[in-house]
Chain A
Amino acid sequence: MNDVMGIVYTSKDDLTLRELTSQRAVAAIPVAGRYRIIDFTLSSLVNSNIHNVGIIAQKNYHSLMDHLGSGKDWDLHTRNNGLFILPPFLTRENGGEYHGVLDALRANFDYLRRSRQEFVILTNSDYIMNTSFEPMIQQHIKSGADITLMYKKATPEITEFSSSSKNNHCYLNVNEDGVVKDIEINPNAASYDNLYLNVMMIKRTMLMYVVDQVISHGSHDLYADVLRPFINSGALKIMAYEEKGYYRRIETIRGYFNFNMDLLKPGVRDELFGGNPVYTKTRDYIPTIYRGNAKVASSLIADGCVIDGEVENCVLFRGVRVGKGAKIKNSIIMQDGYIEEGVELENVIFDKAVTIRSNSRLIGQKQYPIVIGKNITL
């Protein structure tokens, strides 16, 4: 077991995801037919032999709690370590809401203090990546860094998703020794192509010290108030680690749509699912049943569906029913969606349990898919 704990920060700035986040945290958004975004983060941690994981939940954490349960599906239900959900709470010092990751860490200082691991991996959970943190852990220890930041070369596919939102997009200037020399926070035009992935490794006691110092000086921003001053002053040794695997940040509807469609390419599926398993909450759906009129092509389909219509370039989550004569193209239908007979759909995203009555037609634009919220009947 690694001497590392994980802290997952589930952010709350989610306006660009419209209906998908009206009732849930970004980390709890369903993706890829049977997962939630946080499954990828949690599985990467567990697959890196990290077994003490704290999840900083925000106000809308109900659906996250429901999904995570005791953590047993990720083998995080052990006696000494395991899964700790850290929702905001109200006391004399706490306002019942977290103002950023530093505030959340301060509020959960006891959890940090009680944990026994030497190091912490602090990560957001708004991205899709199935990786092992082991190489970064090894590099961090070997290099003697105080902080190691994970980054990735910013290719158009990655930054495209970010174009309309400017939340915590940091770019790093990394020298030939892997030392971080500068950090740009939310630039309009970045000077560097090293996109920081919001994953850092730091000694637990140092994180506690930093949190205490920064908060007691009235500052709140991890990037502007912690990373930038340390990088600029050179007071701490801040190194960079390059992640080379598949990575997509889910920040906009278009990004969400494109990621799911990306899964219909075999290369992407192999990269995401071909290595370490991605764990998720198990449900007892039966296998999917294809009836006599089914015609399915280039689609990713979860268990429990009953299909008697045409489905092309789609991601169907668990328990979706597609009636006879229905035609669905380039669409994402979440759990328990019911597409009745003769319905025609193109470029739509249906949240959970949407029903669309017989012979209706709903056609969206590829650049701006139609999103229908949870439990709606059309």
Chain B
Amino acid sequence: MKKKKCIAMLLAGGQGSRLGLLTKVMAKPAVPFGGKYRIIDFPLSNCTNSNIDTVGVLTQYRPLELNSYIGSGQTWDLDLSYGGVYVLPPYATADSSEWYKGTANAIFQNFAFIEQFDPEYVLVLSGDHIYKMDYNRMLQAHIERNADVTIAVRPVPWEVAPSFGIMNVDENDAIIEFEEKPAQPKSNLASMGVYIFTWDVMKKYLTDDNADPKSKNDFGKNIIPNLLNDKKALFAYAFTDYWKDVGTIASLWEANMDLLKDPPEFDLTDPRWKIYSRTPVMPPHYIAAGAEVTNSMITEGCDIRGKVSDSVLFAGVKVGEGALVEDSVIMPGTVIEPGAVVRRCIVAENCVISKNCQVGEVDGDIALIGQGTTLPEGYVVKAGTQVDTDSIKGKEGA
């Protein structure tokens, strides 16, 4: 079999519990973003645009939605005879069967997958960020510096640095120290969760790590520190373009709002770096007489009769007469009935916000309505609260 220079392993197994009800029924990478995308479209499109044509997607938590979304990979031109996209769930063998214990263990368990392509380098990606990045350039830097591992880093504001994995580097970008969520950060270069490993190095360190019963089998906690201890060649690769962690309700909302700025903070229209997504076939959207739509993104299948401002609406969303949607993100198939008001809120897929509901507030934290929830008529949801079918039932029962 022909060798692949570099293949990608996308860690899509995490629940993303900080997204609350949004990830109750689906894995974080399957969460909708930007009117017609899902988070996983970004790393997958980046791979295709970077000429990396082999991607293993490691899934574990609620994989159904993600699996059916990825399908044959055709959307991202990843339906190839040799290479393409593969969904890799945990599996049982003759003598063991185990879940992925950590990020490093997930990849260790799929060594056989990697070896069939006999790659020189392995790119490790995570499925929780919105960004456009040419991985090929990072690979060039990795090769030129003869690195064992290259870690993509991004400067973040100092005040949020304590919530990231922080890299301390020397004048040649060699990593001298790695601190996971330091209280007193010495640098503001945060790890983006994007690594390139020389395959031989990865193979040795992940094998050793797996043999260590005390290890948490995690790249940040175990593998990177071990490599540093052994004085391996670890380099930082600085990335300064738009990059947003969408791991929380607030940051997911913010990243959606970034698309509405003029010019947008994050531009999806660049013809040289398209983001591909699998979209249902729906007719163009309809704006009725009497509707008002400003500073918003609207896509196919929507039917707007009310007022929409500063919001991102996904496919097939209906907004009834006299309804108001403001500063909100409304995911596919949701219906906002006449007279309902939705402010500063993320409404997940296939919800019904019945007549005269008041969801969210002008100020305060972002409210969230979980997937498939039908709010009864006139229901009120306060700023920053999360509501789904179970919580409504609980409230009625109480």
Q: Which of B9-17, B133-141, B270-278, B385-393 contacts A (4 or more CB under 8 A)?
A: B270-278
B178 interface residue per 8 A CB criterion: no
Using A72-B74, A291-B262, A297-B291 as known contacts, say yes or no to A286 and B285 having CB atoms under 8 A apart. Answer: no
Interface size on B, residues (CB 8 A): 37
Using A287-B298, A291-B294, A297-B288 as known contacts, say yes or no to A282 and B279 having CB atoms under 8 A apart. Answer: yes
- Are B293 and A298 neighbours in the complex by a CB distance under 8 Å? no
- Are A301 and B262 neighbours in the complex by a CB distance under 8 Å? no
Using A297-B288, A298-B288 as known contacts, say yes or no to A287 and B283 having CB atoms under 8 A apart. Answer: no
Contacts of A317 in B (CB 8 A): 284
Kindly supply a per-residue 1/0 record for chain A positions 263-283, scoring 1 wherever the CB is within 8 Å of any chain B CB and 0 otherwise: 010100100110001111010
- Are B288 and A286 neighbours in the complex by a CB distance under 8 Å? no
- Are B283 and A296 neighbours in the complex by a CB distance under 8 Å? no
Min CB gap A271→B, angstroms: 12
- Are A288 and B288 neighbours in the complex by a CB distance under 8 Å? no
B268 interface residue per 8 A CB criterion: yes
B281 interface residue per 8 A CB criterion: yes
- Are A303 and B36 neighbours in the complex by a CB distance under 8 Å? yes
Within 8 A of B (CB), among A27-67: 32-34
| CB-contact partner of B284 in A33, A286, A292, A297, under 8 A | A33
A368 interface residue per 8 A CB criterion: no
B35 interface residue per 8 A CB criterion: yes
- Are B297 and A287 neighbours in the complex by a CB distance under 8 Å? yes
A300 interface residue per 8 A CB criterion: yes
Using A34-B284, A303-B299 as known contacts, say yes or no to A294 and B294 having CB atoms under 8 A apart. Answer: yes
- Are B289 and A32 neighbours in the complex by a CB distance under 8 Å? no
Using A286-B34, A290-B295 as known contacts, say yes or no to A303 and B300 having CB atoms under 8 A apart. Answer: yes
B260 interface residue per 8 A CB criterion: yes
| Alpha-carbon distance A317/B284, docked complex (angstroms) | 8
Contacts of A288 in B (CB 8 A): 285, 297-299
- Are A280 and B297 neighbours in the complex by a CB distance under 8 Å? no
- Are A286 and B35 neighbours in the complex by a CB distance under 8 Å? yes
| Alpha-carbon distance A25/B211, docked complex (angstroms) | 67
Within 8 A of A (CB), among B138-189: none
Kindly supply a per-residue 1/0 record for chain A positions 307-344, scoring 1 wherever the CB is within 8 Å of any chain B CB and 0 otherwise: 00000000111000000000000000000000000000
Determine the interface band of chain A, counting residues with CB < 8 A from chain B.
35 or more
A176 interface residue per 8 A CB criterion: no
Closest residue of chain A to B311 (Cβ to Cβ) is: A290
- Are A296 and B277 neighbours in the complex by a CB distance under 8 Å? no
| CB-contact partner of B299 in A264, A273, A280, A287, under 8 A | A287
Contacts of B50 in A (CB 8 A): none
B21 interface residue per 8 A CB criterion: no
Min CB gap B258→A, angstroms: 13
| Alpha-carbon distance A298/B305, docked complex (angstroms) | 9
- Are A299 and B294 neighbours in the complex by a CB distance under 8 Å? no
- Are B294 and A290 neighbours in the complex by a CB distance under 8 Å? yes
Closest residue of chain B to A319 (Cβ to Cβ) is: B269
| Alpha-carbon distance A280/B262, docked complex (angstroms) | 31
- Are B293 and A286 neighbours in the complex by a CB distance under 8 Å? no
Contacts of A32 in B (CB 8 A): 283-284
A206 interface residue per 8 A CB criterion: no
Min CB gap A183→B, angstroms: 35
Residue among A290, A300, A315 with most chain B CB within 10 A? A290
Contacts of B277 in A (CB 8 A): 284
Closest residue of chain A to B264 (Cβ to Cβ) is: A289
Contacts of A284 in B (CB 8 A): 274-277
Using A287-B299, A289-B260, A290-B295 as known contacts, say yes or no to A296 and B287 having CB atoms under 8 A apart. Answer: yes
- Are A286 and B283 neighbours in the complex by a CB distance under 8 Å? no
- Are B287 and A299 neighbours in the complex by a CB distance under 8 Å? yes
A68 interface residue per 8 A CB criterion: no
B296 interface residue per 8 A CB criterion: yes
| CB-contact partner of A300 in B74, B276, B285, B297, under 8 A | B285
Min CB gap B48→A, angstroms: 11
- Are A278 and B285 neighbours in the complex by a CB distance under 8 Å? no
Closest residue of chain A to B293 (Cβ to Cβ) is: A290
- Are A294 and B293 neighbours in the complex by a CB distance under 8 Å? yes
| Alpha-carbon distance A273/B281, docked complex (angstroms) | 10
A137 interface residue per 8 A CB criterion: no
A26 interface residue per 8 A CB criterion: no
| Alpha-carbon distance A287/B315, docked complex (angstroms) | 9
B286 interface residue per 8 A CB criterion: yes
- Are B296 and A290 neighbours in the complex by a CB distance under 8 Å? yes
Contacts of B300 in A (CB 8 A): 34, 302-303
Contacts of B312 in A (CB 8 A): 287
Contacts of B291 in A (CB 8 A): 296-297
- Are A269 and B286 neighbours in the complex by a CB distance under 8 Å? yes
Using A34-B284, A303-B300 as known contacts, say yes or no to A297 and B36 having CB atoms under 8 A apart. Answer: no
Contacts of A72 in B (CB 8 A): 74
- Are A297 and B260 neighbours in the complex by a CB distance under 8 Å? no
Contacts of B299 in A (CB 8 A): 287-288, 303
- Are A291 and B276 neighbours in the complex by a CB distance under 8 Å? no
Min CB gap A328→B, angstroms: 13
| Alpha-carbon distance A160/B297, docked complex (angstroms) | 38
Min CB gap A286→B, angstroms: 5
- Are B297 and A289 neighbours in the complex by a CB distance under 8 Å? yes
- Are B283 and A269 neighbours in the complex by a CB distance under 8 Å? yes
Residue among B276, B284, B293, B300 with most chain A CB within 10 A? B284
| Alpha-carbon distance A47/B374, docked complex (angstroms) | 32
Contacts of A295 in B (CB 8 A): 292
Contacts of B276 in A (CB 8 A): 284
- Are A297 and B281 neighbours in the complex by a CB distance under 8 Å? no
| Alpha-carbon distance A282/B274, docked complex (angstroms) | 14
Contacts of B292 in A (CB 8 A): 295
- Are A287 and B286 neighbours in the complex by a CB distance under 8 Å? no
Contacts of A297 in B (CB 8 A): 287-291
- Are B286 and A292 neighbours in the complex by a CB distance under 8 Å? no
Kindly supply a per-residue 1/0 record for chain B positions 55-98, scoring 1 wherever the CB is within 8 Å of any chain A CB and 0 otherwise: 00000000000000000001000000000000000000000000
Closest residue of chain A to B267 (Cβ to Cβ) is: A286
Min CB gap A351→B, angstroms: 18
Given A33-B284, A299-B287, A304-B269, 16 more pairs with CB closer than 8 A: A34-B283, A34-B284, A273-B282, A279-B281, A282-B281, A284-B274, A286-B34, A286-B35, A286-B269, A287-B35, A287-B297, A287-B313, A290-B293, A290-B296, A290-B308, A316-B284
8 inter-chain pairs at a CB distance below 8 angstroms, sorted by A residue, are: A32-B283, A269-B283, A286-B297, A287-B299, A290-B297, A295-B292, A303-B284, A317-B284
Closest 3 CB pairs of A and B: A33-B284, A287-B35, A287-B299
